[in-house]
Amino acid sequence: MGQTAKPPGKRTLPGVGPGVPREGDQRIPAERWNWMTIELATVARAADCARISRVARKRALPYLPDLHTTDEDLDFFANRVFGNDTVFIALDEERQSVGFIAFGDGWINHLYVLPSHQGLGIGGLLLDKAKQGARTLRLWTFERNGRALRFYRKRGFSVIDRTDGARNEEQQPDLLLQWDS
């Protein structure tokens, strides 16, 4: 995917968020954005990933405890995520980060898209990066995160295990999902 000039008719409406193109009152799906870029990220984007993760989790999972400070999140992404995973980032026409995926060794460890950009296909495009060349992918999601569960099921993932959450730091029931090529 390359980056070109802004599409005609692009505008931002209140409550939609910056950078989301529209045709009339309809959001334009990401696969039609010829100006959006998905690229391999470097540790220089760690702060962006930490911010996107924090914002997306707070919106989608308000019931989760806030266990870490923003500085701890940044350290985690800079040293652990970028040290262990392959990270792809979705950038808008102004090269602002709007989503990312981190994966490695058959596991998707993080996939987050800013709330203002969800439902546009960005998550699917990021997930496709992890699927390329993979035979099997696994991931954990919280049982209460119905939107994520629908997203992954629509893309071929199946629930293969459930836990009561005793082993995750949030202490929330979770699901292990798997995709096979």
Largest CA distance in the chain: 51
**Structure confidence by residue, pLDDT tens digits, 29-75:** 555 556 679 999 999 999 999 999 999 999 989 988 889 999 999 99
Residue 12: predicted pLDDT? 36
Residue whose structure tokens are 């202490």: 171
Residue 110: predicted pLDDT? 98
Contacts of 132 (CB under 8 A, 6+ apart): none
**Structure confidence by residue, pLDDT tens digits, 71-114:** 999 999 999 999 999 999 999 888 999 999 999 999 999 999 99
Contacts of 70 (CB under 8 A, 6+ apart): 50, 54
CATH hierarchy code of domain 22-134: 3.40.630.30
Whether the Cβ atoms of residue 130 and residue 147 lie closer than 8 Å to each other: no
**Where do the structural domains in the chain lie, given as residue ranges?**
22-134
Whether the Cβ atoms of residue 32 and residue 124 lie closer than 8 Å to each other: no
Residue 158: predicted pLDDT? 98
d(CA 162, CA 178): 12
Q: What are phi and psi of 74, to 5 degrees?
A: -60, -45
pTM over 0.85, yes/no: no
> What pairs with residue 87 in β-bridges?
102
- Arithmetic mean of pLDDT, 117-138: 94
**Structure confidence by residue, pLDDT tens digits, 8-25:** 234 333 333 445 555 565
Whether the Cβ atoms of residue 43 and residue 82 lie closer than 8 Å to each other: yes
